[in-house]
Structure 1
Amino acid sequence: SSAPARRADQFANLATTDVRDDIHVCVAQMSKLGLETIVQDLTRPDIELNVCRVVVPGLRHFWRRLGAGRLYDVPVQLGWLPAAKSEAELNEWSLFF
């Protein structure tokens, strides 16, 4: 890989102390990339837990998919890589949570 590995503490922490503000931060970040963000409040009044569903059309699915598009283009657009990687150059390990 041409990009050096980085630790989590080397990335900007954009978290706030408020869920609504965190959502606004995420929407703003996606907007900078020209992406629409759809947010639906799923919070129920009988449960004291904030819940939302966030969908960004055009982003890749959670599970490993290597089709053409954003996976290759966005790192270049963000300046993280000088050129798009080939499928063979991508991380061979899938991340499962």
Structure 2
Amino acid sequence: MRGEVPLSLAKTVFCNDYRDILEKVETPCTIIQSSSDIVVPYSVALYMEKKIKGKVTLEVIDAIGHFPQLTAPLQLVDVLKGVLGFDLS
């Protein structure tokens, strides 16, 4: 990440709180959580799963960090294929 990106991202994340709208979400959704994420711990995924009113699937990827697209891209693609109903075998 370029040096100026983390500060901007942190401001966006920590200055916005949308927990109050989770109970309004009725669209089926999948929460994808890294198994070891110090930015967003597993408890956050459980909280979201509990609060969202629609059908929720929680998928945990065996990955370290907050960017599974960088640290575990193949696992992320496998989850996305399952969510989107792709069977490329």
Higher helix fraction: Structure 1 or Structure 2?
A: 2
Specify the TM-score bucket, using the shorter chain as the normaliser: under 0.3
TM-score of the pair, normalised by structure 2: 0.26
Higher strand fraction: Structure 1 or Structure 2?
A: 2
| Structure number with higher relative contact order (C-alpha < 8 Å, ≥ 6 residues apart) | 2
